[in-house]
Chain A
Amino acid sequence: MKRLYIGGLSHSVTQKDLKDRFGKFGDVEDVEVRTRRDDDGVPYKTFSYININISDADLKKCMTVLNKSKWKGGTLQIETAKESFLNRLAEERQTAEEQRLQQPEVEDERQKMLDSLSKAGVDNFTMKAAVPGTEVPGHKDWVVSKFGRVLPVLQLKCQKGSRARTVNYDPSKYSHNIRKLDRSTVEQHTPVTQLTWEEQGGDDDISKKRRGEFPPYEPPRRKKSRKDVVKSHNAEGGAGRSPPRRSLLRVKTVVSVDHTEARRFTNGDQPPTNHRLAQRRTPRSTDWDIDSDEEIHKMVTAQDTSHAALQQQQQEEEEEDDQLEVVGLDYLVKSGWKGGPDHKDENDYDSGDTDELFASRKPPLPPPQQRSTPQAPAQLSGNDRKRKMKKKKSTAGEEEDDSSGAEEEVASRKPSGEHSSQNQSKKMKVLPVVSLPSSESDEEDEDEEELESADCSSDSDYEAMFSNVTRLEISLADLQKLAGESSGQETNLTAGSSERPAPKKGTTPEEILAAIMEDSSDDEQQQKKKKKKTKAVKVSTPLPAFQGTRALTKDAVKAAPPSTPHSESSSSEEEERENAPPAPHSESSSEEEEEQSEEEVEEEKQTPVRVPLGAKEEEERQRKTNMRRLAAVQQRQKEAEDHKKLIQGALSNLDAPKAGAGKHIVFGSDEDDDEDDDEDEQQTTSEVTTPKKTLSQDGQSEDDAAVSEKERTKGKVRVKPSVPQLFGGSEDEEDGDEEEDGSRFDVRPQFEGRVGQKLMALQSRFGTDERFRMDSRFLDEEEEEEEEEKSEKKKSVTEEEEALEEERKKNLSILQSVLGSSQQTHSSKTAVKAKAFRDVSALHYDPSREEHAAFETKTDETKKESKAARRKKREEAQKLPEVSKEIYYDVSGDLKAVFGQTKDEDVAGGGDEETNWDREEEAKEEEDGGGKEEQPTLQSSLLSADPGAENEEASGFKFSFFEDDTETGSGETAEYKVESIQAPKVSWQQDLRFQDSSSEEEEEEEQQQEEEEEQSNVTAKTTEEETPSKTDLFFFYLGDSRLTEGPRLFCRPSQLEEQREQWEERRSELRQEYRKKHKDARRKLRSSLKS
């Protein structure tokens, strides 16, 4: 069955026609004719669909026959058409029906499949515990993949190019691609209705800001949190208890003790690096036992400053980051910056409190004793605590009882000593060794009480010194530094003092070794806590001990009936001392000791009286005995050591002369060498010698800080011959040591001067080796050799030097030229810079200095005046030559003579009337004035007589003066010049006097006067000029030179051409000058415009 489309039909064709026509080829089932009509109903197209049962061959035939054939006025067009949609619909429905029938079968298959799979152990397409790649048993095309998932093996058809082939896709081979998807997460969708604009969140800042709520702006706070905290603490504490501020000193001591405790903890228990912790701890510790607000305030301020410093630094750094820093020319390069900012920070931080400073400074050199004995600090702290408490009590008691009113420091120091002794004595019963640390701590406490900034703990110093010593010698700078430090210390350097001499020498290795050994032995002994004590221990203990005993004995004495004398106790001590050491004591030393001890006793007497603590005499005696015993033990040990040292010294001495003595020829002075020898020997012998020296010095000059060299040498000489004397007297070493410390840093005589320096260098070259010790003998030889060489070389050297000198000069000249040419501006700039740099504000006017005269304003005025005066002068010079002045002088000079003469003339009663008239007046005036014949006084009297008139006349005179000038010519000047020689020491008063006379404006008279004066002058200098002036002519006189010279001016003095030449020259000059001036003016104008 086919459906055909037949087009191109005429409008008149009916279904029947079509059926007939196509009926030939097949069975026509249905015909459908359609006619397309336009809007008017006129058909323009007619076609039809027919359903026909037809075979393919018939269809072909039909097509060939009927297609494009003409039928009833139209051309047929036959095509196969698609099936009618109704049919198709029906078909589809039918197939759907069929499918519905078939489906259950498919489901069955699937179920079967699942069942079979489940049989094979597959549950929900997953097979647990199966290795990927294994086939599912019973199912050929199913494979287990990742996660136990069962997947089918796919057979994919691949059409590449013309060939078609199938590809097996085994999912187990690509199992790494498989990813597990969590369905639960995917399926969570929040519905739109639940979406909100609200942001839920807490009250924290961020969520608030997210919500758009910003807190009101607050200016950034300073970092004061810590301070605040402390303050709040403080407030609480202050509220809680009223500060028992009895004495600031005590408070200080207490606090310092606390600090020391803290510090010790940090030193002993904790690693030395954490200063911060220690510092943080200190304020807390003060919180525990605050005694005053001041202390806390101090600390707070200190911290604040440190904070501020930190902040500042940070700011600076930031600034540096941000901004470019511009630096002046005078910026100094600081080289010691390499410590880094951290270091600086710490320093800044630490600078606040001295105690903190101690704490911070200490750790680098932790005293090994404390470190080695972990128990010690605890004991110490305990000790301190106890002592603190006691001190409080005692100080309280003392303050009440101390009527003498000694210095606070002394007071504070004494109780410590006392208590230490007490402590010692108490402890000695139980543990005699504990006295050592206690004494040390005493020292430290004292130092801290004094608040010395210098390191006071002798131990650390001692360590440092030794570390220095082991390297080699101490340089001069080191010595100075040490001297400064030691001078800062008032207390005895107990531990170090005995062995300090060793570093001073530092040349013999044995000594250093011995010293170090001692040091180490110290530690060991402390660890073992045995009674064996080395020097350090000895020296450290006896001082407080003795004081204590002495004090105690005194107390005892006081407690006991007053009849027992002091001397007994002291003498007994001395006896002890003398008896105890079995070694040979030199008498002198013992005497000195006695002296010293006596002095000490005296000092003790001077010190304020103390309250007798515990008057139990028995206990004290026990203590005494104990002390004696200890002292004896110490003595013995010292002795042994001295022996050792003596042996060492002897050995070294044996070596030294071998190296130095006979072999070298000595050219220098013997005395010098001897001295040097002596000193060398002394050096080599032992340390004991030096203290000995100082001891002897002590004996000679008590408390003389500055000991002259001579004295020292004397002391040496004194000590020297008796070498065995060197033993003993060690107990009093500490006394000597103080001075020793002072003298130790003086430059030794053998090292003085240039030669000394050389010697030092020589010695240092061979270091500590005793055998190669160089002394001045070597030096002398070398020097001589050098001198010889020098003398030989001198000539050549001088030549070379000359050459070099020349070269240098040349270089300098070139440099000058270079700088002058290229760097002119540069140098000027620097000069300006230097001027600008001179700080005006820092300048103080010092009238005594001549340079500062420039700052006086007066000079400026004078300058201006001088300028004005110069200008005036110039003008005057242009208009009227010096004539005017000379007129002054001449006239005045003459007047003197005139006065003299007037009297004569008056007496004589002769001369011209006119002149007389004038003179008479004068004379009268003179007579009125007092008629004194002496001129100066007369003139002064004249002045005093009528000053008003004079003033008037002065004004009048000027007029006359100018007239005079204009009228009088050069001739007159000549006249006056001649007379000016005669002019005496002119005073202006004389001028005034002259004005008097000239007030009449009668120049003739004047002239005549003058002439007469000239006549009357007794001097032999009357010249030929006088003679012509006797005529009565008004303007001229006979033989007037003006008359002769005047006419000449009207004649040409030279040829016209010459004149012209002159004029031309002049003109060119003038022109040049004018140009120059013009240029200058223009330049000035320009510069002014610019500026």
Chain B
Amino acid sequence: MRPLTDEETKTMFEKLSKYIGENIKLLVDRPDGSYCFRLHNDRVYYMSEKILKLATHISRDKLVSVGTCFGKFTKTIKFRLHITALDFLAPYAKFKVWLKPGSEQSFLYGNHVLKSGLGRITENTMQYQGVVVYSLTDVPLGFGVAAKCTQECRQMDPMSIVVFHQADVGEFIRNEDTLT
């Protein structure tokens, strides 16, 4: 477990900023204590200082997970967000998409969001903007990337894709073994 290098931090922040913009600052500089990002097994974990200290007692090969896993660095050194980061993305998300009850399940099985399943969308969402997906009862379901901007979404036919799926809470069950 080690702190992130500058490049890593930068790539990660760039990815995060697609979803929560400058709200990353709130993650880094928290009023309720110092929190930090740590890299372990190519995965980035977000944890409080307390937990960090506790984790120092565990050897590196035995340590499976600390704090909250935000995502992992791929072999090509790109950052990939995991669904476990949703807890921190959801409250700070700038652009949101709400699904109709009928299409929630489809999304939770890993499918893209179609126009027909789109209940509500934040205005001025740009194309390829990272969005957090909610149910209409405001339960965060996952996140993805807007395939079309808001204006285009209005005129699309109902079977076209509006949001590309990236992660959903169904992964907690589907990818139980790989999520840490």
State the A residues within 8 Å of B (CB): 320-321, 324-329, 331, 333-335, 337-338, 800-801, 804-805, 807-808, 810-812, 814-815, 817-819, 822-823, 826-827, 829-830, 833
A338 to B150, CA, bound (A): 27
| Cβ-defined contact, A812 with B120, below 8 A | no
Residue of B3, B13, B37 touching A818 (CB-CB under 8 A): B13
Q: Are B28 and A811 in contact (CB under 8 A)?
A: yes
Q: Are A327 and B96 in contact (CB under 8 A)?
A: yes
Task: Determine whether the beta carbon of B36 is less than 8 Å from that of A324.
Answer: no
Q: B45 in the interface, Cβ–Cβ < 8 Å?
A: no
Contact of B53 among A334, A800, A829 (CB under 8 A): A800
Q: Is the CB of A329 within 8 A of B94?
A: yes
Contact partner of A320 (CB less than 8 A), chosen from B115, B119, B124, B150, is B119
Given contacts A337-B137, A812-B29, A823-B22, contact A326 B123 (CB under 8 A): yes
Q: Does B60 contact A (CB under 8 A)?
A: no
Q: Let me know if B78 is at the binding interface, CB within 8 A.
A: no
Compute how far the CA of A327 lies from the CA of B132 in the bound complex, rounded to whole angstroms: 14
- B103-156 at interface with A (beta carbon < 8 Å): 115, 118-124, 134, 136-138, 150, 153-154
B42 within 8 A of A: no
Q: Interface of B with A (CB < 8 Å)?
A: 3, 6, 9-10, 13-14, 17, 21-22, 24-25, 28-29, 34, 36-37, 49, 53, 94-96, 98, 100, 115, 118-124, 134, 136-138, 150, 153-154
Q: How far is the CA of A814 from the CA of B95 in the complex (A)?
A: 23
Report whether A819 and B123 are in contact in the complex, using a CB–CB cutoff of 8 Å: no
- Determine the residue in chain A with the shortest Cβ distance to B122: A327
Minimal beta-carbon separation of A280 from chain B (angstroms): 30
- Partner of B3 from the list A328, A331, A805, A807 (CB cut-off 8 Å) is A807
Interface residue from B6, B25, B53, B118 paired with A324 (Cβ < 8 Å): B118
| Chain A residues in 8 Å Cβ range of B154 | 324, 326
Partner of A331, one of B6, B53, B122: B122
Residues of B within 8 A of A333 (CB): 96, 134, 138
Q: Tell me how far the C-beta of A125 lies from the nearest C-beta in chain B, rounded to whole angstroms.
A: 63
Name the residue of chain A whose CB is nearest to the CB of B135: A337
In the complex, the answer to whether B150 meets A326 with C-beta atoms within 8 Å is: yes
Partner of A812, one of B25, B136, B153: B25
CB atoms of A338 and B120 under 8 A apart: no
Q: A953 to chain B: closest CB distance in Å? A: 66
Central interface residue in A326, A328, A833, by most chain B CB within 10 Å: A326
On whether the beta carbons of B36 and A808 are closer than 8 Å, the reply is yes
CB neighbours (8 Å) of A328 from chain B are 122-123
A810-B6, A818-B17 are known contacts; what are 11 more A-B pairs with Cβ within 8 Å?
A320-B119, A325-B119, A326-B121, A326-B154, A329-B124, A800-B53, A805-B34, A808-B29, A808-B36, A815-B24, A819-B21
A789 shortest CB reach to chain B, Å = 14
Closest to B90 in A: A333
Residue of A nearest to B56 (CB): A800
Interface SS, B side? mixed
Partner of B120, one of A325, A335, A808, A826: A325
Contact B29 A329 (CB under 8 A): no
CB contact between A335 and one of B95, B96, B138 (< 8 Å): that residue:
B138
Q: Which listed residue (B21, B36, B98, B134) contacts A826, Cβ 8 A? A: B21
Picked from A326, A334, A822, A827, the residue with its CB within 8 Å of the CB of B14 is A822
A selection of 9 A-B contacts at a CB cut-off of 8 Å is A320-B120, A329-B94, A801-B49, A804-B34, A810-B6, A814-B13, A818-B13, A823-B22, A826-B21
Cross-chain contact B138 with A334 (CB below 8 angstroms): yes
Contacts of A817 in B (CB 8 A): 10
List A contacts of B53 (CB < 8 A): 800
* Contacting residue for B34 out of A331, A337, A808, A823, CB 8 A: A808
Specify which chain B residues have a CB less than 8 angstroms from the CB of A334 in the assembled complex: 138
Say whether B28 contacts A808, CB under 8 Å: yes
Tell me the minimal C-beta distance from A983 to chain B in angstroms. Answer: 57
Does the CB pair A327–B34 fall under 8 Å? no
* Residue in A327, A335, A804, A811 whose CB lies within 8 Å of B49: A804
Find chain A residues with CB under 8 A from B9 CB.
810-811, 814
Cα-based distance from A333 to B90 in the complex (angstroms): 10
State in angstroms the CA–CA spacing of A516 and B35 once bound together.
47
Chain A positions within 8 Å of B153 at CB level: 324
Say whether B13 contacts A327, CB under 8 Å: no
Collect the chain B residues with CB atoms within 8 Å of residue A331's CB.
Answer: 96, 122
Contact of B123 among A327, A804, A805, A822 (CB under 8 A): A327
Residues of chain B within 8 A of A338, CB atoms compared: 137
A814 touches B123 (CB 8 A): no
Contact with A819, one of B22, B98, B134 (Cβ below 8 angstroms): B22
Q: Which residues of B contact A807 (CB under 8 A)?
A: 3, 36
B122 and A815 contact, CB distance less than 8 A: no
- Name the B residues within 8 Å of A804 (CB-CB): 34, 36, 49
Inter-chain contact A324/B121, CB cutoff 8 Å: yes
In the bound assembly, the distance between CA atoms of A328 and B124 in angstroms comes to 8
Which A residues lie within 8 Å of B119 (CB)? Answer: 320, 324-325
The CA of A1021 and the CA of B119, in the complex, are separated in Å by 87
- CA of A812 to CA of B14 in the docked complex: distance in angstroms? 13
Q: How far apart are the CA atoms of A494 and B9 in the complex, in Å?
A: 65
Given A804-B49, A818-B10, does the pair A827, B22 have CB atoms closer than 8 Å? yes
A7 to chain B, nearest CB (A): 84
A320 adjacent to B121 (CB under 8 Å): no
B120 A327 Cβ-Cβ under 8 A: yes
Q: Knowing A331-B96, A815-B25 are in contact, say whether A801-B13 is a contact too (CB < 8 A).
A: no
CA distance A822 to B6 in the complex (A): 16
Considering the chains assembled together, what is the distance between the CA atoms of A833 and B126 in angstroms? 14
Q: Which residues of chain B have C-beta atoms less than 8 A from A822's C-beta?
A: 14, 17
Q: How far is the CB of B96 from chain A (nearest CB, A)?
A: 7
B residues within 8 A CB of A337? 137-138
Contact residues in B for A324 (Cβ distance below 8 Å): 115, 118-121, 153-154
Given the complex, which residues of B lie within 8 Å of A325, measured CB to CB? 98, 119-121
Shortest CB distance A811–B (Å):
5
Taken together as a complex, chains A and B put the C-alpha atoms of A326 and B149 apart, in Å, by: 11
In the complex, what residues of A have CB within 8 A of residue B134's CB?
333
Contacts of B95 in A (CB 8 A): 329
Give every chain A residue within 8 A of B10 (Cβ-Cβ).
Answer: 814, 817-818
In the complex, residue of chain B having the shortest beta-carbon distance to the beta carbon of A339: B137
Cβ–Cβ contact B121 & A815, under 8 A: no
List the B side residues contacting A818 at CB < 8 Å.
10, 13-14, 17
A810: chain B residues at CB < 8 Å are 6, 9
Chain A neighbourhood of B136, CB < 8 A: 320
When A823-B17, A823-B21 are in contact, do A815 and B120 touch as well, CB less than 8 Å? no
A808 CB contacts on chain B under 8 angstroms? 28-29, 34, 36
Question: Are A801 and B34 in contact (CB-based, < 8 A)?
Answer: yes
Instruction: Indicate the member of B115, B124, B153 with the most A CB atoms within 10 Å.
Output: B124
Give every chain B residue within 8 A of A823 (Cβ-Cβ).
17, 21-22
Question: Which residue of B is nearest A330, CB measured?
Answer: B122
- List chain A residues, Cβ under 8 A from B122: 326-329, 331
Contacts A801-B34, A815-B25, A826-B21 hold; do A329 and B123 have CB atoms under 8 A apart? yes
5 A-B pairs with the lowest CB-CB distances in the bound complex, closest first: A325-B120, A818-B13, A333-B138, A326-B123, A337-B137
Q: How far is the CB of B41 from chain A (nearest CB, A)?
A: 20
Chain B residues, Cβ within 8 Å of A827:
21-22
**Cα A327 to Cα B134 with chains together (Å):** 13
Closest to A341 in B: B137
Bound-state CA distance A815–B10 (Å) is: 7
- B152 CB to closest chain A CB (Å) equals 11
Residues B138 and A327 in contact, CB atoms below 8 Å apart? no
CB-CB under 8 A from A833, the residues of chain B are 124
**Across-interface contacts of B98 in A (CB, < 8 A):** 325, 327
Task: Report the separation of the CA atoms of residues A814 and B9 in the bound assembly, to the nearest whole angstrom.
Answer: 7
In the assembled complex, the CB of B158 is this many whole angstroms from the nearest CB of chain A, namely 10
Contacts of B14 in A (CB 8 A): 818, 822
Q: Which residue of A lies closest to B118 (CB)?
A: A324
B17 → chain A closest CB, angstroms: 6
Which B residue's beta carbon lies closest to that of A334? Answer: B138
Which residues does chain A contribute within 8 Å of B138, judged by CB atoms? Answer: 333-335, 337
